[in-house]
Amino acid sequence: MSNNEIREKRKKVICDLVKDDFYVPMKEKELAMFLQVSKEDREEFREILQELLAEGKLTLTVKG
């Protein structure tokens, strides 16, 4: 699996999570912990969140 495929898969996981009826807004760190993102992968995770924000697939609120 290429890096791009892995990145797209991670984006899908995040999108599916936030679209779930039971999702409660979380801060970046809380979301990373919930998804068990390792410290080594946090920078890429942050980049993915920024991409999703830029694409309009995520919205930033006061709660996270």
Cα(59)–Cα(49) distance, rounded to whole angstroms? 10
Q: What is the pLDDT averaged over residues 18-45?
A: 93
pTM summary value = 0.87
Q: What is the pLDDT averaged over residues 44-61?
A: 93
Domain ranges in the chain are 3-54
Residue pLDDT, tens place only, 12-28: 999 999 999 999 999 99
Q: How confident is the model at residue 9 (pLDDT cuts 50, 70, 90)?
A: very high
Distances in Å between the alpha carbon of 38 and those of 21, 33, 61, 63? 26, 8, 24, 23
Average pLDDT of the chain, as a whole number: 92
Helices marked H in 20-56 — which ranges?
Answer: 28-34, 42-54
Q: How confident is the model at residue 5 (pLDDT cuts 50, 70, 90)?
A: very high
Cα(58)–Cα(3) distance, rounded to whole angstroms? 22
Q: Which residues contact 63 (CB under 8 A, 6 or more apart)?
A: 25, 26, 27
